[in-house]
Amino acid sequence: MEIDELRRRIDEIDSAILRLLNERATVVLEVGRLKAAQNLDYHVPQREEEIYTRLTRENAGPFPPGAIWPVFREVMSACLSLEHPLRVAYLGPRGTFCHLASMQRFGLSAEFLAMRSITDTFAEVEKGNADFGVVPVENSTEGAVSPTLDTFVESNLLICGEVVVEAALHLLSKVGQLSEVRQIYSHPHALGESRHWLEAHLPNVPAVEASSTSAAAEMAASEPGAAAIASELSATLYGLTVLRRRIEDHPNNFTRFLVIGKKAVSPTLADKTSVLFSIKDRVGALYRMLKPFAERQINLTKIESRPVKKKVWEYVFFVDLQGHATEPRVREALAELREECVFLKVLGSYPQARPAAEG
């Protein structure tokens, strides 16, 4: 078969895909009308997970299995915007890894609201100005994000999902050659994570701290000879060229983000539950905390402690465990744990994150 004939066949398939997308959008609009009449939620995370899981299972190839999720995420994001455009608050500014995580989770058709702080992100959701929020909770090299954990102590919002993003750092600029770089901007963490590369390749170029990697990219876009260490998304947003890719000193640097909202998420095939609690100060307290989970073979994927600000030498614990809070064994373990606690709060059960995407 000649290449021109194959291309005509591709054009026919693309047109058929477009017709089906419009057919899908028409059905989604009807679903939206029914949801509105019955006062149902427009966005149902577990329904999305069911679609992803089913399509991955049905895929016979050669279309890459890993491409199913990003392709259909955008399809669902666009269709959902016809019903009710989602408003998503995130720790800004634009171009940060939190912005990238938000787009990775909700697709490009959502409305993204950049917030100045983590507490502002929580507040925007609590006030109803945003449907969901996205906040960082831990980094594979820097550890826990304390402001997020501390805000959960006072907030009534629930965790509705999680996103894991590979925090890949690139050298961005408007200059064409490395030798033309006269100054480098970035967030202190990014500068630290790229220190060895900078010493080896740009030892005499001054590095200046910025409030965020995105702010650094904005400065690099306006200042001749300047460069920024930031995400590839920042390069796109600020019209910069990627001079060098992956300049971080330690590969496999991931950041985990939480999706926060007001409503609980129903079970899926692979869930995680997050809880926080304060235990009674007595001998064997930590053992009593772990015992209900160990006896039921429930895997704890994270344990983090934070000091109680109102009391000296007292702590609250944040724990992530595998399973949904409505599962009998998880429900029983939490009930037993509650008896040993001063207080216990279930922060939410939600689908486990999909494989991380490079930023």
Quote the DSSP letter at residue 348. E
Active site residue 96: no
Answer whether 122's CB lies under 8 Å from 259's CB: no
Q: Show the DSSP H helices in the chain as ranges.
A: 3-38, 45-58, 65-83, 97-106, 118-126, 146-154, 188-193, 195-201, 213-222, 232-238, 285-295, 328-338
HSE, side-chain direction, 13 A CA sphere, residue 37: 6
179's CB contacts (< 8 A; 6+ apart) are none
**What tokens were used for 280?**
């009674």
> Dihedral of the CA atoms 122, 258, 77, 81 (nearest 10)?
-10
Quote the DSSP letter at residue 345. E
Burial class (CB in 10 A: 0-12, 13-18, 19+), 172: buried
Give the active site residue among 96, 255, 268, 273: 255
Q: Would residue 313 be called left, alpha or beta, if left means φ above 0 and alpha means ψ between -120 and 50 degrees?
A: left
Give the active site residue among 106, 257, 277, 293: 257
Q: Look-up: residue for tokens 């000649």?
A: 2
User: Parallel, antiparallel, or unpaired: how do β-strands 207-209 and 183-186 relate?
Assistant: parallel
Q: How far is CA 152 from CA 133, 158, 347, in A?
A: 13, 9, 8
Q: Look-up: residue for tokens 């912005």?
A: 99
Active site residue 255: yes
Answer whether 278's CB lies under 8 Å from 323's CB: no
Could you give the maximum distance between any two Cα atoms of the chain, in Å?
Answer: 79
- Cis bond upstream, residue 62 (ω within 30): yes
Q: Which of 253, 221, 251, 222 is nearest to 239 (CA)?
A: 221
Residues classed as catalytic: 255, 257
